[in-house]
Structure 1
Amino acid sequence: MVPLSFAGEEFLLTTGRALYWPREQALLVADLHLEKASFYARHGQMLPPYDSRETLERLALAIGETGARRVFTLGDNFHDSAGTERLEPHAAGMLAALTRATDWVWITGNHDAAMEARAGGTLAAELEIAGMVLRHQARAGETRPEFSGHYHPRLRLTVRDRHIRRPCAVLSRDGKGGGRMILPAFGALTGGMDAADPAILSALQPATQIDAVLPAGGKLVQFPLWRAAA
């Protein structure tokens, strides 16, 4: 985990794509997309049906690593609203154990807007915690500190003629001590969008700068994506 200062608060960014908020003892994760493989199987594309297990195992590790007592999921928790009904018994038991052990809040997204909290926890369209807005998709023009997901940002780099794509967070600053953050997708079976895609940069306006951030070698690495004209 590496420290990250954001909007006057201290956070820890984990190597597993989660964000820990020590003051609130809260773990934030985005875009689990549980039961994505079973969704595709229903439509004729057979994928190994273990994505939910892998995602939940990683989530359990993040909770154990941070000692989080609260979990906020930032939408697209399941790949579709009926995904809760397709969880096989082992994965369902894992999820039920996690939601019993923590104060768990599902923030719904565009993929699972009608989901039900069948495995525990509570549902919300969005929340405001200690002045921070938690929602699925960044809202252009938002001036409050905001956490969101939806875009699955990935940083694209070329290092020694090798092309590298890594999940990352995208962080905007507003020049007044505030900002907004898009978290990487946490789920095991999720693709990604270029962190510098115009859709991401536009969603984070107004801003004075926008950077991709990720942990590497025990440090927070930052790559500039956009700067306001001087």
Structure 2
Amino acid sequence: MDQSVNGHSFTLAGVSLVALGTGALWWPEQGVLCVADLHLGKSERIARHGSGPLPAYDTRDTLTRLAADLTLHQARTVICLGHSFDDLAAARALPETERAWIAKLQAGRRWVWVEGRHDVGPADLGGTSLAELPVAPLSFRPIARPGASGEVSGHYHPSARVESGARMMTRPAFLLDRDRVILPAYGIYTAGQQSHDATLRALMRPEALALLTGPEVRAIPMPR
């Protein structure tokens, strides 16, 4: 791996992958960049339901980060793993400037929207919508299935708490074992589910790692 790239290299089902500090997953051999849980339009959905204001630039900031990852790695394929939009109304309400930005990011690439619980596939935003995407020997799906192997998924927005000096710090994290990797949420303003949550403990093997995102990816035993 290029030493200038902030990431943690690992192998899943014999495939060499890189967990990036941004929260994206990079498959160098295939030129695939995978992101989970973009939740585009979150601030619009929050405002619509009157749950309190959020800054209205969450979609812009998420797309800025995604554009930087695509440029850095020259990805040929992009896989968006479920919950790409905060809900269907948020997808419909996406401003034209942001629709045009997504179209620009899609140009010259294969783009796959893997459908999540809240989004059935934005048919008017280009790309291909699928329930899941097998790319042997891996399977890309929105949510992990017990007993699966070679699985890449999202949905849970995993995070992990670690000591940083004299205080505890929580960071979004990949969860990794020999069967699967669960990606952190890529979108701005997405809350995390602690790795010690019972659902995540049940999905991940005892030897699982948490790969903490940020300026330097840090691998630790998955906090339980």
TM-score (norm 1): 0.88
Provide the rounded CA distance (Å) in 2 between the counterparts of 1:216 and 1:193: 17
Which residue, 209, 214, 222 being the options, matches 1:211? Answer: 209
Measure how far apart 1:181 and its partner are: 0.4
Residues 22-31 or 96-105, more deviating: 96-105
Measure how far apart 1:208 and its partner are: 5.3
Q: Secondary structure at the match of 2:64?
A: helix
Letter matched to residue 210 of structure 1:
A
Counterpart position of 1:68 = 75
RMSD: 1.8
Letter matched to residue 85 of structure 2:
F
Q: Secondary structure at the match of 1:24?
A: coil
Counterpart position of 2:86 = 79
Q: Secondary structure at the match of 2:107?
A: helix
Which digits, 9 at most, give the CA deviation of each residue in 1:27-70, with x for residues without a partner?
01000000011011111132222111111111000101111010
Identity of aligned residues (%): 38
Counterpart position of 2:11 = 5
Counterpart position of 2:33 = 27
Give ranges in structure 1 of 5+ residues lacking alignment.
174-178
Which residue, 205, 218, 221 being the options, matches 1:221? Answer: 218
Which residue, 127, 130, 135 being the options, matches 2:133? Answer: 127
Residues 155-164 or 51-60, more deviating: 155-164
1:46–1:221 distance in 2 versus 1, CA, 3 Å: closer
Which residue, 107, 110, 135 being the options, matches 1:103? Answer: 110
Confirm or deny: 8 A CA contact 1:155 1:195 kept in the other structure: yes
Which digits, 9 at most, give the CA deviation of each residue in 1:76-129, with x for residues without a partner?
0001122221111221111111122321000011121x3423211010011110
Letter matched to residue 188 of structure 1:
I
Counterpart position of 2:201 = 201
Q: Quick check: 1:150 aligned with 2:155? A: yes
Q: Secondary structure at the match of 1:5?
A: strand
Confirm or deny: 8 A CA contact 1:170 1:183 kept in the other structure: yes
Q: Secondary structure at the match of 1:64?
A: helix
Measure how far apart 1:215 and its partner are: 5.4
Residues 181-190 or 99-108, more deviating: 99-108
Q: Secondary structure at the match of 1:209?
A: coil
Provide the rounded CA distance (Å) in 2 between the counterparts of 1:217 and 1:83: 30
Residues 159-168 or 58-67, more deviating: 159-168
Measure how far apart 1:163 and its partner are: 1.7
Q: Secondary structure at the match of 2:177?
A: strand
Provide the rounded CA distance (Å) in 2 between the counterparts of 1:150 and 1:100: 27
Measure how far apart 1:226 and its partner are: 7.2
Residues 128-137 or 152-161, more deviating: 152-161
Confirm or deny: 8 A CA contact 2:160 2:222 kept in the other structure: no
